[in-house]
Amino acid sequence: MAITHVTDQNFAAETGEGVVLVDFWAPWCGPCKMIAPVLEELDQEIGDKVKIVKLDVDENQETAGKYGVMSIPTLLVFKNGEAVDKTVGFQPKEALAELVSKHA
């Protein structure tokens, strides 16, 4: 499954069903750029179990504010629309896989 970009407008619809990993990021953020290929690999490996989406915090401040995102990258795990887990900063693929697998 491909990684999609979400907005304030479609966030609830995109995270409302199943397990979704949301990457809160911005184009100017160095660690965000470092984690992007890690998320692509993760998507190829477990994309059938989890949906991965990205939210640009500069363009979608309402959603970022709602979930208390203060630093990026912040990754939130949603299960059926509820935020169930969170990690902040660059994480290796294994750590992200473990984070997601707890809820899949």
Q: In what order do the strands lie in the sheet with 82-88?
A: 4-6, 51-56, 19-25, 74-79, 82-88
User: Which positions are catalytic?
Assistant: 29, 32
Residues in contact with 68: Cβ distance below 8 Å, sequence separation at least 6, in sequence order? none
Q: Rounded to whole angstroms, how far apart are CA atoms 2 and 40?
A: 8
